[in-house]
Chain A
């Protein structure tokens, strides 16, 4: 008898049918409905992390970190608006609605942004007095649903953002489930309380760039040409969308990459429609340059911005400012491990919680439940956001000084290299250690 046993191979799971794919098949089979969630894409994508700054060297002088000034202000709307707005920092707060967010969360966003001299943005559902009151600079979104849209609020706004699409779901509308359609939310949207509320994907009274030009003119007429008018698009065809937005008369273009979040949409939409921010910025900037409008029509980019390095990279690629949504919510307290037990009770874990549409957010941010919403202290959360915005700005300045720039807008593509071939091609900067930009030159 031999002690020998035939060796057993280690059980091997499929890379294609991984645990998540299997669980989603089972969930779909059990429920017959696609998965809906909040947030942005969770898959690994070519990203700003794939870029590096070169910094100063013999050929370039750096600026002294704590001594020499590095400007961060941004003027938006200088093309046509009689009253352009000026932000002290190049980081804005993206559009998020009262309805998807609690009133406390909206107040906190306003407090934090105002403390740092930057803007917040309404969302699908209109403007609340609290939001206007706590936001020194407020951008009023003009969405296909026109929920809560009225000329009084339009005139109270500091800028108007015509939303064509967003990065999480270019070409998609919205859905706010009945759990979050409270009496107040329903009243603002002229809908029955508690029903699932759909937001249209197309504007009801214009189609295409020629109509958009007339629509923008109408908004200017109503507001006597005072307000900067933004056009927000989800990153899909950034060159052409940017060119058409310029043609339509936009003062500012907001370009949202697929890492940008949403209050709720289909998982398949979030993960499979649109392109990453990294791949979208240069085509948009190219369109502005081709039209002679770079820096005349401002470009705000968003989608996965987390820190000052991301900010600096976007600006170096040609953007005028960035916008944050998900990161701002995290700064307020979203997905905090301190609430791990509460996330576990919802069948998830801190850092992965994305059922924002269900209105059961333990942090009191993506909810209309009064008891949950009361957990968020708007002053404290606003302070956290202000701190975070300050850090992002300081980080961007640190990098800009290291590159010898006296203003963050002086950062340029020549300050960057890429770590991967994909990033080099998308950002149109050389692969690190080479002078090779894939798709450019004679290679």
Chain B
């Protein structure tokens, strides 16, 4: 397997993405000198591995399908937004809205994720080894958000059917988000997600607490108006 190397000190993001979209002959890519540029590896649609050596800007791996993207650095806003499948791994921290609206795949953040992590998530699995910021999992529809550290204020505000697992503290829960029993089935689910993230045996599922929707806001009722 040959690796195609693209140096963003010499090539543009457009040239990189065009190559990633059209060159199906290379299944392993290395991107050098990303220097915080935006939209790196956006719109991938092949089971390739893309290793990015450095920090990336907004929307890295946006709408990813099938590909495995590794960022050796920090990521800007909207990391792996609307990801459909595949895997995105950031070794550093992620900025706001990581995994926003993502439908599938695995997003793994070794560091912390900022505000609105998993906002409107639609089926993705997100694992954050550090902590997450406020308003994370806002209107989260489906999927799992697993946090080994702490969660900021208003976790899971207006949440639908996504499942949230937090090992540390939760500053506060948002509207209609409640703590739920951590039954065996949930421990098994969590163990599976941790295993996929390479964390099997590294942490104890018994240390996590589960949060989800109370489903009281699923049908608008005037008696709930104070919740909004």
> Residues of A with Cβ closer than 8 Å to B?
31-33, 145-146, 149-151, 154, 175, 177-178, 189-192, 195-196, 198, 200, 204-206, 211, 214-215, 217-218, 221-225
Contact = CB atoms under 8 A, between A and B. Distances in A.
Contacts of A146: 82, 100-101, 120, 122
Nearest to B97: A205
Interface residues of chain A: helix, strand, loop or mixed (majority): loop
Interface string B3-43: 00000000001100110010000000000000000110011
5 contacts: A33-B222, A195-B219, A198-B158, A204-B100, A214-B59
A205 B78 contact: yes
Given A150-B63, A221-B43, A222-B62, 4 more contacts: A196-B219, A205-B100, A215-B58, A215-B78
Interface of B: 13-14, 17-18, 21, 38-39, 42-43, 45, 57-59, 62-63, 65, 77-78, 81-82, 84, 96-97, 100-101, 103, 116, 119-120, 122-123, 138-139, 141-142, 158, 160-161, 218-220, 222
Contact of A151 (B43, B59, B122): B43
Contact of B21 (A196, A205, A215, A224): A224
A205 B94 CA distance: 13
Contacts of B219: 178, 195-196
Contacts of B84: 150-151
A222 B63 contact: yes
Given A150-B84, A151-B65, A206-B78, A192 B161 contact: yes
Contacts of B14: 221, 225
B82 A150 contact: yes
Contacts of A206: 77-78
Given A190-B141, A198-B158, A223 B119 contact: no
A217 B38 CA distance: 8
Given A195-B219, A215-B59, A218-B59, A150 B103 contact: yes
A224 B84 CA distance: 18
Nearest to A223: B43
A218 B62 contact: yes
Contacts of A195: 160, 218-219
Given A190-B142, A221-B17, A221-B43, A200 B63 contact: no
Given A145-B120, A149-B82, A204-B116, A221 B39 contact: yes
B103 A218 contact: no
A298 to B, nearest CB: 24
Nearest to B38: A214
Contacts of B101: 146, 149, 204-205
A217 B77 CA distance: 14
